[in-house]
Amino acid sequence: MGNTTIDKEEEKVVRKHRKSRLEEEGKSSGRRSQKASTEKNSGRKKGKNNKKKVSIIQSIFAVLFSLGSIGIITVLFLLYGPITGFREWLVTTAMTTMTHQYFATWFYDEATINYILDKNKVVEIEEETDLNAITFSSNKVTEYKNEYERAILERDPNNNDYKIIEISEKKFDGYLVAVYDASRIKTVVTDGLGVKGQYLTRMAENNDALIAINGGGFNDPGFNSTGGSPLGITVCDGKYVTTDTYKGTGGVIGFTEDNKLVVEKMTVAEAKKKGIRDAVTFGPFLIVNGKPVEVKGNGGWGEAPRTVIAQRKDGIVLFLVLNGRKGVTKPGASIKDLIDIMVDYGAYNAANLDGGTSSVLVVDNTIVNDPIDSTGAHKTRPIATGFIVTKDESDDSDHTLVEEKLK
């Protein structure tokens, strides 16, 4: 009896331990199962995330490839497609610069470039300048034909020298200067004549100029910005500084002893006979004897910063300096743009001067426009010649438009 009781008690203890062990094993198994499940789910999530990342990267590459392909196709279409506008703009703009002609020669052969330049050019007017048409008038006008006439003729009673007029168009901006006394306009040249050019500010300072603009073209071997040798004929106060033959567009641009602007192809002998006192050489001529030149295509000069000199029938001289090279929004002015401006302001004779980085307007030895060089820097370059307005005792011109820059 006693042993049976003991055996039953031991059996109960064994069952209890067995049950406890089984429960513990069950819990452990559950934990392992849960852990395995968790790891499995985590693996699935990681797999999904990795696939998602790969998908995103593939999408990005696909978009970039598509954009690149579109870009390449667009460039090739512009360069070689059936629409010629961009191609002609590129070639004419590049080939009229000193340092950026490679933009055209990279993509086109010489025959193509010459074909484009022949389609886009200025048809020159080869006439002798009619000096009798210029009649200096001091009569005060109270009624004006239009806003341009008013801008030129309506001046401050105390302003005896010149007036600065702001020019602002979609593709360019700058200044037009009305000079009321043509006898005070002179030609200046670099101190390093034949060797190196000079900044216009220094030329203006050396010649005690009230105002100055850049002048004619110049030779620049190797495009090294030396600019010391003016093209063609250069005359300073009756002295013939250079007398080279010039075969380019335009010709002599200068003033007679009677203070009348001449824009004409001529030899040294013809210039002396006409009484040229101050002159440079360049072109093209824009207006001759009141007639604008014919412009084929875009004129062959592209869009760039520009400088123009002109004279009205009443003897008032116009200096025009326009900015450009400011991205695609403001590349500069075309030859047609220059003609339109000159016609608006009543020019009777007008000529294009050297442009690009050379285009500079100086007031009181300070550059007031915004020249940009071939590197994109906001600065000008040494040049060979310029036109200045000399000072006198009554200088009291209105500098309002450029006052901040002069400070």
Full 3-state SS string of 221-263: HHHCCCCCEECCEEEECCEEEEECCCCCCCEEEEEECCCCEEE
Distance CA 302, CA 335 (A): 8
**pLDDT value of residue 318:** 98
Distances from the Cα of 249 to the Cα of 243, 252, 277, 290, 307, angstroms: 17, 10, 22, 19, 16
Neighbours of 156 (CB within 10 A): 11
Q: Which residues pair with 243 in a beta bridge?
A: 233
- CB-count exposure of residue 8 (10 Å: 0-12, 13-18, 19+): exposed
Report the distance separating Cα 296 and Cα 279, nearest Å.
28
252, 247, 244: which is closest to 349 by C-alpha? 252
Burial pattern 39-76, b for ≥16 Cβ within 10 A else e, equals: eeeeeeeeeeeeeeeeeeeeeeeeeeeeeeeeeeeeee
Closest to 136 in 3D by CA, of 186, 181, 178, 179: 181
pLDDT averaged per 10 residues, the chain (length 407): 54 60 57 56 61 76 79 71 71 67 76 76 92 87 90 80 93 96 96 94 95 93 74 97 94 98 97 97 97 90 94 97 89 96 98 95 94 86 96 72 76
DSSP string, 378-397: S----BSEEEEEE--TT---
What is the token pair recorded at 210?
């009230």
Burial per residue of 368-397, b for 16 or more beta-carbon CB atoms within 10 angstroms, e otherwise: bbbbbbeeeeeebbbbbbbbbbbeeeeeeb
How close are the terminal C-alpha atoms of the chain, in Å? Answer: 126
Query: pTM (2 decimals)?
Result: 0.76
Token readout for 103 is 């933009």
Residue 90, token pair as written in the block: 């590129």
The Cα 357–Cα 369 span in angstroms is 11
Closest listed residue to residue 196, CA positions, set 178, 218, 177, 217: 218
Neighbours of 208 (CB within 10 A): 10
